[in-house]
Structure formats: C-alpha cells, structure tokens
C-alpha cells in the first residue's frame, strides 16, 4: 500500500475523539426532538443546476463523475437521470428540494432536523474544512410562517448549548439582528444598494470601521453622512427595548424599520427571560447570504470568538417555491466539526475510555474460552458492555490489555467462583454474572470536561 | 425552481421511514457496543489510487472534481494534496487506510464499528443503490489474529438480527463457509485455478448446476469428474460435524482442507449452541472477493431470499500492510439501506408517529402564547417531547394538527387549571406540568411490527 498521509480539510478522529463527537451529536439530536423536530436525511448529491442557483457558492462545489462514464457503451447508464451531480455544500438546498418533492406528504409547518456531512472545496484552515458535519433545524411553512418561530429557533439552539456545557463545551453568545431593520434603515436614509451595504457591514470585524466607511462611499454609493449612519447603526447592541430607542435616535423612520425593531426587541426580551445572558441583539450582524428576510443569527463560543460562528441561520421568506406555493422558513445550523475539532484540539472535553467496554472477561486457557464467552454473554444480556480477552496470556498481560483501553473491570472466571477486579484501585470481590453490576457511572463511557 | 424528481438509486425516506431506519441503526450500534466495538467515522473520500487497487471495483467509483478547478489561478489550490479523489464504495478500504494511518495510536486487536454512507455508480435495481448506508464491524490484529474472532463476528451479527425482530424484521439465516475448505479441496483434486472455480461456483444460484458444470470445464480447466466434485462439494450444508464427514467422503485430502473443516465445524457448532437455527454451513457460499482467506459469511432475510445478502463478510489475512506489519482481520457489513428499504416497501415495520412530539400544548390566543411556551418548557425539562400549536386556531383545528402527526396528547392551558386530553380516546383530565407524565409507551415514538 502506498504511503499514507492525511488529506487536508478532511478531519477524522481517533475512537476517543469520535466518542466526544457522538456525545455532542446525541445531545443535539435529543434536544431537537424534545422540541418536536423530526429527523430526516437527504442524499449527499443534488443536480448541479440546483447547487449552482446561488452563483456565489459555485466555487465550492465538488462535481461527481462516474469513473467509467466516458468508456461506457451504454449511453443511458453513464448518466442515468441525464443530470450532472454534485455533493451538497449545505443542508438547506437539499432540504428545500426535499420539501418540494414531498410537499404533498408532509404536514406544515414542518419542523425537521438533519445531521449530515457536507462538502466544500475551499482552502482548509483553522475551523474550516472540506468535509464537515452540520446539524440543522428548520421550521418551514406552506404559504405563511408566523414570526414566533423566529423566537423559537435560536432558543432551541440556546438550550442545546446549555446542555452541552455538561461536557465542558464553553458557554455561547447568540448574536441576533433583523434584516428588516437594516433594510428599512438604509432605505429610509436614501441608500438603494441594500445588499451591497450589508456585504460591506459584514466585513466590519475583519477590515475595521475606517475601511468600511471608505468602502460604503466608494462601492455602495453612500455619502459620508450616510456611511457614518450605517456605522452608527452597526455599533448598537443590547438585550432590551433600549436598542430600538437608540436606533430611532439616529433619525431614520420607515414601516419596515419599525416592524424589524419590534421583532428584534420581542426576540431579545423573550430570550432574556428564558435564557438570560445568552442572546444579544447586535446590529452589525449582517450574514452574507441574500435570502434572509427577517431575523438572522450567529453564535460564538465565549473565549473562542476568533473561531467564527459555530451556529448561524435566519428567516427566509422563500426557502423554495413551486407553481402553487411558496415555503417560508427559519432555521439554524450548528457547525459540529468546527465545534468538536476545537473541543479536541484545545483539550476541553475528554471521553472516559476509548472503548465502550466496561468489563473484560479474562481467559484462563484456550480450552475454557467458552466459559469466558458465556460469562460475557450473561453480562451483555443485562446491558453491560463486555469483551473477552483476545488470548489466554498471563493475567498480568490481560489486565494491561484492559488498562490500556481504560476498561475499568476485569472478570476472573474460575470453577471455584468468579471474581471481578476494579483495576483502578485493585479491589477484587466475588461476583455472579447473573447479578453483579458495575457502578452506574462506569457502565458506559462518559464524556466530561477535562480537569 | 426547476421541476423536482427523485434521482434513481439515491433513496430518501419520509420522517416516519427515517424513524424506522434510526431505530434499526440504534439497535445495531448498541449491540456492537455491548460487544466492545468502538465507533469511528472516516472521511467520504479516498485517493483514487487507493480505491482502484482492486481492479474489479473501478467501474463503480465516483470521482470528484472541484467545479472551478480548471479556472483556478492558484495551481496549488485546485488539487491541494496533488491527488485525485473518489467517494468510497465500501467501508473496508477506508478502514484499512485508517488503521495504517493511526497504527501507532490504536490498540490491537482493534474492534471497530462504522455506520456511514457509501457510493457506487452501479445501475440501480431492487435492493441495489448508488448511495446507501452500511454498518460494519471488523476486528483487526497487528501481525496475527486468533481464529476465535471468526466465530465472534457472525454471532454478534446474529444477536443484532435477533434484537431487530422486536421491530418486525424477519429472522435471518447466516450462511457460512471457509475459504480454506474450497481452496484445499480444489487443490487436492488437482485444480489450479482456485479463484476462477470460486467465481464460477459463486454463480450457482444464478445460472444453475448445468451451466456451472460447463463453465468449470470450459473456463476453469476442470475435467468432467473434477467439475462434478466441485458441484458435490457445493451441495453440502449442515449445522454440525457431519458436514466434515460428507466432505471427506468425496475423497479429497489436504492439510488446508482439514484445517478449514475444523474451523467451519467449530464455528457452526458454537453457533448452534448460542443462537440455535441461525447459522448454517453452506459450502456453495464463495464470496466473489479474492481477499478472503478463512471464514466467509452471507445473510439472507427468511422469506426475502431474492433480496440477496443483507450482511456479508469474512476473514482476510491482510487487510492492510505497511513496511513493518501486516494487519489481518475479520469483519461483516450490514446493508442497512437494502434492509430498511424492504422493511418499508413491504410495510413490515412502522413508526408510531411521524414526529417525536408526545404533547401538543394548545394556544388559547396569541396574547397568552408565552403561557403555552412556559408549559412546554416545563414538560421538556422533565424529558417529555413537547410542541406548541403554531397558531391560536379553534381548539378543534389544533387537535386535528396533533392528530395528523400522531401526537397522542393535547394540553389545554387555562388560568382555572390545566387539562390534558388523550386524543385517541377523548379522555381529558386535570394536569400539572410539574408532575403529569404520559404513559411510558407514549413518551417517544416507537417502532414496531405492522399489525
């Protein structure tokens, strides 16, 4: 086999790292389900024409080709559906297609979650990968979708991250804004290029206020006063109704602005009551994508802000649309791989062992292996993850086998009566495979903050 | 958005179908873990050169190309690692690479399970897909791997399928053979083209004994007597030591044949004791792949034999090898998508509802939505999956909302005292969100045999 080396941007974990990822995903999934979101999975591929509808993302797409497509004698086979296929780069495009494809068989509003890999051919860097796992929730309506879902979605995410703190995941700050505020404000002060201004404001943290002011004037048609107003708006943040007062103090007025402010204040005030200190209105949050039409969300890990957002999303008035209906929605996506890679690289979280096994049954000699196997079967029937020593080596070697994997108990079978040893403290007691139980904390591997 | 139609070979499920798949996967995963297998995930892509090492599979590979690779001005970026990449077509090739890449950080024998999508550009048909999920276990040793793992692996799978019967999955028959028996026998009767004979015997069920006899003579260099001996060998099956007697009665003798027969009898006799009636030695099982060197396994769903094997695998003396070590292993893979698609299309298994939700909290009017949300939060804190009605429609409409999704309980908040209604029988009782609990059977959706 050729020399093996990792591929940049395609992260993989050792078993103990995967145990951390799995624990995170189980918590995420369970929290989504507690809130009534149903799980689905979509295929990894979409027709390229669907993936390229947003021109901006085209550079990221991986296109598929069957290796023998050119050589195939059967013209039908190499392109079964007569469509070029690419790997999905997010879970939103496939979900939109799934909703249209199944609209007659789904109940709306449809709340779904989806945990899957996505692929982007970007240059990899810290926290940015070519293959990574996302965990998305979306609520999608048929024709209409009430605003209250824009409050619900970030609060579900706040609950997910609150629960993840048990593993040692740092607290998060969810920054929210409302596209109607920005759009209403820019239009009210006479700026027509709303998209352009948003894109420039989106770079504020990266390029700083001076260059934003310059760009707004050079590229987005703003006067010096208009540019300064945009910057003033972006500087506002808070967790209560005072943010609306400060926006209105800048002088602009419009119906859209008013509506956006009311929504934004409703959101942060509800959040302040239910998850105090987690959700903050931050009017510089712009979100690059042009399909957002209401609330937008970004989430940073406190103390790891430079990692970028680990959960983002927003409201879109048209997730998808066919001849007869439009499907508005609101959703957020967790960048699971970005989060987990930081948890592991910063050694914030650890699994208690690298295998599921709680008990290793020793083997006295190969002639009595069947006895050891029968003990293991009895323990497993009672839900205790158990393995049998791979060889009838000296007991010291079998204990080391367990120790190297973090298996806490070794079982010694004997015709005179079984014993089980806690190899962490050396305590050894008589035991019966029909009744003995490990302490609950040792039954399955646990994932906990690194101490 | 363009007209939407499914892609052939890329199956997707509605939420209730996904619930069935998820229940199957959770049982599979938990059983693997009870037996000490640690979960890992590998990236979806491998260097094409790795995927093509077995020439036979090259036609199935999907090759990746970054859409903008040709246009890139940065020559380094379009091919970061200077390697063409393809999607993996099984989980064995990536696992072999993972073992080599991490050999210094893994403990051997290494027992791993892996549940992931794989891709093959084959012509789709019943039970055969272009994207599908596999659930694999393998035990891999460094340098050596004792035979007893060849007994363990199919018995773990037997336990998986025994547990799956609770959901309405039909019982299975695991057919086993041993490559040493076939090779030892063919060599002993003077046939040199062992691979060729195996490939021909592998077609027995498909083309019948007459054409097998002819092919053995025309393509594999067999005399009429040799061909008949091969067919006689393939006709033997059984669950105890008598299979060895019947093989030996055919007259051939060799050390390899003897070793293979001992292993095969050991396997079926252990299986007969531990999972009676599930595992059968069937000497026509050949398995096409040439890397098997000992036990081989195939599994059929009783009553659905024409679906083909839903779990296959075997022993290989060299899963991988680097300069310093060779890694022998034994493994089996479950074709999860093949199994689940049959469970759904034959309506064998059903989920009790299409959403996780056990309770829908009604909303009296939008002004008191916060009260309903608070009740839902209280129920969720106690682990009860709860949703809130999307709009303050008439209660009859809110009940229909629950009914259409299979949500069993609707909660009616009121300043005078809350009530909860079991909408299946109309029973309505006073309830307190701090103490009320649904019956355990209603808490989460269940997956059960279709009645």
pLDDT at B289: 63
Out of A41-45, B70-74, B344-348, B364-368, least confident range:
B70-74
Segment A160-192, tens digit of pLDDT: 999 999 999 999 999 999 999 999 999 999 999
Segment A284-309, tens digit of pLDDT: 998 866 789 999 999 999 999 999 99
What count of Cα atoms within 13 Å lies in the side-chain half-sphere of residue A366? 6
Gap between the Cα atoms of B118 and B113, Å rounded: 15
Q: Touching check for A406 and chain B: CB below 8 Å?
A: no
User: Do the chains contact at B7 and A49, CB–CB below 8 Å?
Assistant: no
pLDDT at A77: 41
Residue B359 scores a pLDDT above 50: yes
Distances (CA, A) of A245 to A231, A234, A252, A255, A279: 17, 14, 11, 15, 19
- In chain A, which residue's Cα lies nearest the Cα of B318? A1
Is A269 within a domain? no
User: Do the chains contact at A36 and B146, CB–CB below 8 Å?
Assistant: no
Gap between the Cα atoms of B179 and B157, Å rounded: 20
Phi-psi region at A204: left, alpha or beta (left = phi > 0; alpha = psi -120 to 50): alpha
* Average pLDDT of chain B to the nearest whole number: 93
pLDDT at A76: 37
Gap between the Cα atoms of A221 and B341, Å rounded: 57
The number of beta carbons lying within 10 Å of the beta carbon of residue A406 is 17
User: Do the chains contact at A106 and B14, CB–CB below 8 Å?
Assistant: yes
Work out the average pLDDT over A7-36. 97
Asked whether residue B284 falls in the same domain as residue B368, the answer is no
Among A41, A49, A121, select the one facing B18 at the smallest CB separation: A41
The domain that holds B398 is classified in CATH as 3.40.50.800
For A450, counting Cβ atoms within 10 Å of its Cβ (0-12 exposed, 13-18 middle, 19+ buried), the class is exposed
Among B8, B61, B96, select the one facing A67 at the smallest CB separation: B61
Buried residues in A52-88 as b, exposed as e (16+ CB within 10 A):
beeeebebbbbbbbbbbbeeeeeeeeeebeeebbbbb
Work out the average pLDDT over A60-64. 91
Segment B178-204, tens digit of pLDDT: 999 999 999 999 999 999 999 999 999
User: Do the chains contact at A404 and B66, CB–CB below 8 Å?
Assistant: no
Is A382 within a domain? yes
A4 pLDDT band (50/70/90 cuts)?
confident
User: Do the chains contact at A111 and B387, CB–CB below 8 Å?
Assistant: yes
Q: What are phi and psi of A316, to 5 degrees?
A: -130, 130
Q: Higher model confidence: residue A283 or residue B290?
A: A283
- In chain A, which residue's Cα lies nearest the Cα of B9? A80
Among A15, A81, A112, select the one facing B40 at the smallest CB separation: A15
Q: Touching check for A103 and chain B: CB below 8 Å?
A: no
Q: Is A202 annotated as a binding residue?
A: no
Helices B194-201 and B204-219, axial angle in degrees (round to 10)? 150
Out of A51-65, A213-227, B239-253, least confident range:
A51-65
- In chain A, which residue's Cα lies nearest the Cα of B54? A1
Asked whether residue B289 falls in the same domain as residue B209, the answer is yes
Residue B254 scores a pLDDT above 90: yes
Interface test with chain B among A29, A61, A64, by most B beta carbons within 10 Å: A64
pLDDT at B318: 86
Segment A308-363, tens digit of pLDDT: 999 999 999 988 888 889 999 999 999 999 999 999 999 999 999 999 999 999 99
A1 pLDDT band (50/70/90 cuts)?
very low
Closest listed residue to residue A69, CA positions, set B91, B130, B199, B93: B130
- What residue numbers bound the domain in which B285 lies? 172-301
Is B441 within a domain? yes
B287 pLDDT band (50/70/90 cuts)?
confident
3-state helix/strand/coil string of chain A: CCCCCCCCCCCCCCHHHHHHHHHHHHHHHHHHHHCCCEECCCCCEEEHHHHCCCHHHHHHCEEEEECCCCCCCCCCHHHCCCCCEEECCCCHHHHHHHHHHCHHHCCCCEEEEEEEEEECCCCCECCECCEEEEEEEEEECCCCCCCHHHHHHHHHHHHHHHHHHHHCCCCEEEEEEEHHHHHHHHHHCCCCCHHHHHHHHCCHHHHHHHHHHHHHHHHCCCCHHHHHHHHHHHCCEECCCHHHHHHHCCCCCCHHHHHHHHHHHHHHHHHHHHCCCCEEEECCCCCCCCCCCCEEEEEEECCCHHHCCCEEEEEEEEEEECCCCEEEEEEEEEEHHHHHHHHHHCCCEEECCCCCCCEEECCCCHHHHHHHHHHHHHHHHCCCCEEECCCCCCHHHHHHHHHHHCCCEEEECCCCCCEEEECCCCEEEECCCCCCCCCHHHHCCCEEECC
pLDDT at B70: 56
Is A440 within a domain? yes
Measured between beta carbons, the chain A residues lying within 8 angstroms of B137 are: none
Helix (H) or strand (E) holding B256: helix B255-274
Q: Is A316 annotated as a binding residue?
A: no
Q: Touching check for A77 and chain B: CB below 8 Å?
A: yes
Q: What is the number of domains present in chain A?
A: 1
User: Do the chains contact at B40 and A87, CB–CB below 8 Å?
Assistant: no
pLDDT at B76: 37
pLDDT at B80: 63
Is B317 within a domain? no
Q: Tell me the nearest-neighbour CA distance from A323 into chain B, angstroms.
A: 9
User: Do the chains contact at A14 and B106, CB–CB below 8 Å?
Assistant: yes
Work out the average pLDDT over A130-140. 98
Q: Touching check for B97 and chain A: CB below 8 Å?
A: yes
Q: Tell me the nearest-neighbour CA distance from A390 into chain B, angstroms.
A: 8
pLDDT at A354: 95
Grouping H, G, I as helix, E, B as strand and the rest as coil, residue B418 is: coil
Cα angle value B306/B309/B314 (rounded, 5°) = 155
pLDDT at A73: 40
User: Do the chains contact at A7 and B50, CB–CB below 8 Å?
Assistant: no
Q: Is A90 annotated as a binding residue?
A: yes
Six-digit token string for A442:
């040792």
pLDDT at B75: 38
Gap between the Cα atoms of B152 and B111, Å rounded: 11
**Binding-site residues of B for L-histidine:** 90-92, 120, 134, 138, 287, 291-292
Work out the average pLDDT over B349-373. 97
pLDDT at B327: 96
Is B324 within a domain? no
Among A1, A141, A369, select the one facing B322 at the smallest CB separation: A1
- In chain B, which residue's Cα lies nearest the Cα of A124? B80
Q: Touching check for A144 and chain B: CB below 8 Å?
A: no
Name the B residues in 6-35 with CB < 8 Å from any A CB.
Answer: 6-15, 18-19, 21-22, 33-35
Closest listed residue to residue B420, CA positions, set B399, B392, B450: B399
Segment A72-116, tens digit of pLDDT: 444 334 456 668 999 999 999 999 999 999 999 999 999 999 999
Q: Touching check for B211 and chain A: CB below 8 Å?
A: no
Q: Tell me the nearest-neighbour CA distance from B190 into chain A, angstroms.
A: 33
B3 pLDDT band (50/70/90 cuts)?
low
Q: Touching check for B291 and chain A: CB below 8 Å?
A: no
Asked whether residue B257 falls in the same domain as residue B368, the answer is no
Residue B260 scores a pLDDT above 90: yes
Asked whether residue B387 falls in the same domain as residue B289, the answer is no
The domain that holds B208 is classified in CATH as 3.30.930.10
Q: Touching check for B385 and chain A: CB below 8 Å?
A: yes
Residue B77 scores a pLDDT above 50: no
Q: Touching check for B289 and chain A: CB below 8 Å?
A: no
Measured between beta carbons, the chain B residues lying within 8 angstroms of A39 are: 15, 18-19, 22
The residue among B301, B328, B350 that closes a domain is: B301
The residue among B301, B324, B351 that closes a domain is: B301
pLDDT at B81: 65
Q: Touching check for B355 and chain A: CB below 8 Å?
A: yes
User: Do the chains contact at B356 and A102, CB–CB below 8 Å?
Assistant: no
Is A371 within a domain? yes
Q: Could you give the percent of chain B with pLDDT greater than 90?
A: 86
Q: Touching check for A67 and chain B: CB below 8 Å?
A: yes
- Chain centroid to Cα A258, Å, comes to 33
Q: Is A98 annotated as a binding residue?
A: no
User: Do the chains contact at B107 and A8, CB–CB below 8 Å?
Assistant: no
Q: Tell me the nearest-neighbour CA distance from A254 into chain B, angstroms.
A: 26
Helix (H) or strand (E) holding B174: strand B172-178
Is B114 within a domain? no
Q: Tell me the nearest-neighbour CA distance from B307 into chain A, angstroms.
A: 22
User: Do the chains contact at B355 and A98, CB–CB below 8 Å?
Assistant: no
Measured between beta carbons, the chain B residues lying within 8 angstroms of A100 are: 1, 4
Segment A202-250, tens digit of pLDDT: 999 899 999 999 999 999 999 999 999 999 999 999 999 999 999 999 9
pLDDT at A309: 95
Out of A79-83, A368-372, B116-120, B137-141, least confident range:
A79-83
Gap between the Cα atoms of A97 and B1, Å rounded: 9
Gap between the Cα atoms of B152 and B270, Å rounded: 9
């Amino acid at each position: 086999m050729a020399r093996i080396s990792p591929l940049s941007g395609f992260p993989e974990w050792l078993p103990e790292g995967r145990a951390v990822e799995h624990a995170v995903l189980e918590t995420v999934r369970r929290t989504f389900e507690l809130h009534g979101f149903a799980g689905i999975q979509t295929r990894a591929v979409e027709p390229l024409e669907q993936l390229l509808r947003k021109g901006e993302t085209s550079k990221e797409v991986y296109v598929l080709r069957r290796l023998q497509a050119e050589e195939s004698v059967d013209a039908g086979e190499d392109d079964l559906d007569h469509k070029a296929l690419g790997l999905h780069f997010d879970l939103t495009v496939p979900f939109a297609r799934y909703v249209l494809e199944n609209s007659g068989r789904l109940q709306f509003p449809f709340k779904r979650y989806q945990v899957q890999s996505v692929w982007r051919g970007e240059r990899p860097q810290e926290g940015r990968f070519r293959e990574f796992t996302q965990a998305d929730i979306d609520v999608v309506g048929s024709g209409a979708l009430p605003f209250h879902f824009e409050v619900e979605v970030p609060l579900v995410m706040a609950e997910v991250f609150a629960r993840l703190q048990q593993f040692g995941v740092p607290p998060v700050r969810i920054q929210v804004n409302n596209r109607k505020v920005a759009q209403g404000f820019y239009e009210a002060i006479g700026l027509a290029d709303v998209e352009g201004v948003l894109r420039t404001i989106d770079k504020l943290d990266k390029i700083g206020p001076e260059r934003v002011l310059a760009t707004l004037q050079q590229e987005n048609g703003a006067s010096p006063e208009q540019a300064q107003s945009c910057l003033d708006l972006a500087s506002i943040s808070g967790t209560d109704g005072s943010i609306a007062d400060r926006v209105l103090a800048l002088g602009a007025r419009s119906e859209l602005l008013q509506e956006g402010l009311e929504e934004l204040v409703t959101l942060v005030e509800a959040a302040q009551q239910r998850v105090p200190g987690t959700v903050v209105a931050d009017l510089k949050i712009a979100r690059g994508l042009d399909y957002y039409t209401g609330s937008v969300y970004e989430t940073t890990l406190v103390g790891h802000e430079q990692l970028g957002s680990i959960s983002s999303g927003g409201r879109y008035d048209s997730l998808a649309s066919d001849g007869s209906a439009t499907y508005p929605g609101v959703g957020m996506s967790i960048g699971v791989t970005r989060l987990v890679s930081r948890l592991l690289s910063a050694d914030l979280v650890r699994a208690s062992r690298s295998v599921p096994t709680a008990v290793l049954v020793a083997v006295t000699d190969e002639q009595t292996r069947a006895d050891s196997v029968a003990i293991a079967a009895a323990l497993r029937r009672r839900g205790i993850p158990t393995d049998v020593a791979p060889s009838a080596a000296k007991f010291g070697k079998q204990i080391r086998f367990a120790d190297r994997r973090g298996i806490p108990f070794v079982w010694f079978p004997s015709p005179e009566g079984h014993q089980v040893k806690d190899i962490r403290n050396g305590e050894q007691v008589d035991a019966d495979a029909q009744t003995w139980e490990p302490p609950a904390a040792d039954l399955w591997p646990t994932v906990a903050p690194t101490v």
